[in-house]
Amino acid sequence: MKLWLAVLIAAGGCAALKLAGFVVPVRLLESAAAKRILEALPVTLLSALIAVSVFATGSYLVLDSRAAGLAVALILVAIRAPFLIVVIAACATAAGVHAL
């Protein structure tokens, strides 16, 4: 019963959070300041997400095979490799280092 409650609150709450961004009146998003913030937000949030998903496990900072994968991705993006090559090479590197 408690488990059902947890599942329903988490699912409903997360769906509501997603909707929250869409109920903000669009005119509030049109000021120059709002535009600057909104254009930067996905970039900074995804950057933080990249850092956390590569260098953290739970509440611990860790340096493991994921860092090698990210390094390869950064190098390949810098030399303008195609998208799929970046993703596949990063995964292959991380898998290789993990297997060592």
Partner 1 sequence: MPETPRNDYLNSGSSPSVARRRIRNRALAIGVSVTPFGLSFGAVSVEAHLSLVQVCLLSLVLFSGASQFALVSIIGAGGSYLSAVGTALLLGVRNGLYGARINALLRPAGWRRFVMAEVTIDESTAMAVSEAPSGNAARAFWTTALSVYVLWNASTVAGALVGNALGSPATTGLDVAGPAAFVALLAPRLNTARMRVAALGAGAVALVTVPIVPVGAPILIGGLTAVALLLVLDR
Q: Which structure tokens are listed for 96?
A: 């290789």
Q: Where are the beta strands (DSSP E) in 1-98?
A: 56-57, 60-61
The minimum distance between CB 67 and partner 1, in angstroms, equals 9
The two counts, helices (H) then strands (E), for the chain are 4, 2
Residue 84: CB minimum distance to partner 1, A: 6
Shortest approach of partner 1 to residue 46 CB, angstroms? 5
Class of residue 90 by CB neighbours under 10 A (exposed 0-12, middle 13-18, buried 19+) = buried
